[in-house]
Structure 1
Amino acid sequence: MENLFKRLQSKKNQKPLADTFTQNKPTSPHTPQIPTEGWVQISPLVWEKITEITVSPGLKQEFPLDESEGLYCLDTETTGLSSGAGTHIFLAGWCHYCPLSGNIRIRQFFLQDLGGERDFILHLDFALRDAKALRTFNGGTYDIPLLKTRWGMNGKEFPTFIHKDLLHPSRRLWKQVLGSCSLKNIEREILGVHRVGDVAGAEVPELYFSYLRSGAGDDFPQQLRGVFSHHLQDVLSLWFLEVLLKDFEKNPLGPRWTLHLNREKFINRCFTSPEIAPQVPWILPKPSYPLEIDPRCLIPHLSPQDCLAYSGKVWKATGREYWGLDYTHRLIRVENTLDERMEIIQILSTLWKEKRSLKALDRLLKFLEHREKTPLAWEQCLRIMDRALAGGFLPESVVLSLKKRKNRVEEKLKPKDISKNNP
């Protein structure tokens, strides 16, 4: 606290920013002797860095990038993981497409010390005036509420934007495929982004506090290089994710979203940058790259029969439990031929034996008991239940359900006493 008081005292006589400053931004008479690696001091405690990245002509032809003008993909780095009043934003920035230059532009704003937060907020507020819409990743829960809090703590109102949190459409498309829909997992499995030597997000607050304890000097580009690189990659991934999700909205039945049999990965380098490309291979899949998605996302665009065929293709290509359950569920709902009934039994039996899927076991027993409804099917049902009960390691609720079903099936197999009905 004493060090913070001394730093604030040293800045006491410096003139703060006016609320209505123009593009003639104030500059500090102090010139750092340490290389700033592209960072420009725009206020006593606020720095800005602009990174331009060239987009390949192929990407411009495939995606209508001009439509994304004014769309900012925003991310923040903070002093904590909560969005309360005690959490400060020390690094904020966004990625957007510039139609005039044809490049991707990333703007990052860094707060060198917490005493300069008012100027930091004023610069962000001014720079965001050109934005028409915002995209974030989990920003609806974290970033946007925190931005509103910090604006309010500094006597300003956060601007109103059309905001979309890309976490939710990502979960709809890939939750059942990837399991975890963290940005890093989506980068690796969907975008083809491979981070090298990246700083974990949970470590960022402590790195910033370590920098403050060291004196908050002008050597921050060296001390916090990993944090800046982490943030830059976050906003870049967010921008490419927005491009990909926009493609699904416009062309959900295109080959990128419906071809799943070709397992070979075709990739297309989207841009090159001398500063970034040698370290991080940023790529985006071509239309021929089969992206697995939750088939429920295609239901509004496909007929029931097409959904059935689609789910079956994905199951045969991947062999994953989810696709097997989805395919058999859709197959059971229609009138089945003998071959289709045998296929249902074979798939569910495989999922139970190899993956120990309780859902597959329950569906298999229901199908044999209620859809097949023959003595042979009931006998097969009993054999499966006997093996399952003998194997152990089943939840108590499942054991009780199996015993109840077993008693019911055994009653069905008992020969009926005709003499009782004919006295």
Structure 2
Amino acid sequence: MKQIFLSISTTGTPVVDGHRIIEIGAVEVKDKELTGRHFHCYLNPDREIDESETAIHGITSEFLKDKPRFGLIADEFNSFLSDTDLLCTSDKTTSFIKNELSLLRITSPNPQLKEESIALAIEDTLNPSARETFIAAKSAFRKESKDIYGALLEAEISADAYLSATKNEKIIKNINEFLEEVSNSDPNDLFRGVSDRSFRLLPSLFRHSSEGHQVREDKMMWVFKAHSRPHLEKYPENEIQWLTLAQHHGLPTRLLDWSFSPLVACFFCAKENPNKDGAVYLYKARDYKREENINIKTLKKPTAFLPSHGSRRITAQSGAFTLHPDCCYEIDEPEIQKYIIPKNLKPSFIKALSKYGINNSTIFPDLDGLCSHIKTLQGY
């Protein structure tokens, strides 16, 4: 699995004001190790540099007069990036690169440079504890550089800091290695598969772009309770059972789905987002609570429980949940292990899992799941 750590210097911000890239620095990491391959260049932006930016990177217009324009390095740069996972030192990086490519009417082979969304900065992809480690390591590495600044140096420092902050990650090379990794896991361990390795252990309720989740939750659950009753054969007995039911039918809640089965988690990791590396989390949850003993209002940390208001899907998926309080949106514990499933391995994982009886028809035991499984078998 390859990753590119990418940093740029510009004439100023924002890009919509016509600002351009004047320096690119990128380093390659493969399977959690620096390969030694890098890309670096200075560029003539055909415009003046803001003084505030020069004060940061020290690059002047005079220095850039004889440097190439972006068009001369575009092919080499695109070749270096290819379809590799990009990790940017700033959330503005991809918007600047997209702008340079669009000015030349060039399409990048990298999926992240084709997407409309702006890529997050590296630290924003990490959970809180990993982010703290990343920032601390980056600060320490920068001190060692004795205040020297440059896009390539920034990319190298970020790569080193990221590797220090993600030591709980392991890249899986094949399904047999994954099975070996989880073979000694405790029966009480929980697994969660995500189709994009950047997805964190954050329930859907808290993924909204704005605050005010408590008000949204109250409104959504009020409407759900009011209009779902005609469709129910059995009414939930408490608030957690209502949340479980709402989660099952796709409503954003403060619950996070888990499975006792590593194979089920692996299936959810591999079945979607073919252009993204996936991941399986292993969480050593030991303190399971009974629904009737959980008070959402006084909860201080994410709590694991087994759903009593179950469904055929929850049973088929060996399902469990964690309930997340307002004071702690995300599960963030150092001992959580994260197994990375590279995107190119996803088809082989799906094929192997089907042989173990893990496929759409068994995970989703209804006619929709059966039809989805048949379509997969026929290559649709």
TM exceeding 0.5? no
Q: TM-score, structure 1 length as denominator?
A: 0.33
Of structures 1 and 2, the one scoring higher in RCO (CA 8 A, sep 6+) is 2
Greater fraction strand: 2
Q: TM-score, structure 2 length as denominator?
A: 0.36
User: Larger radius of gyration, structure 1 or 2?
Assistant: 1
Greater fraction helix: 1
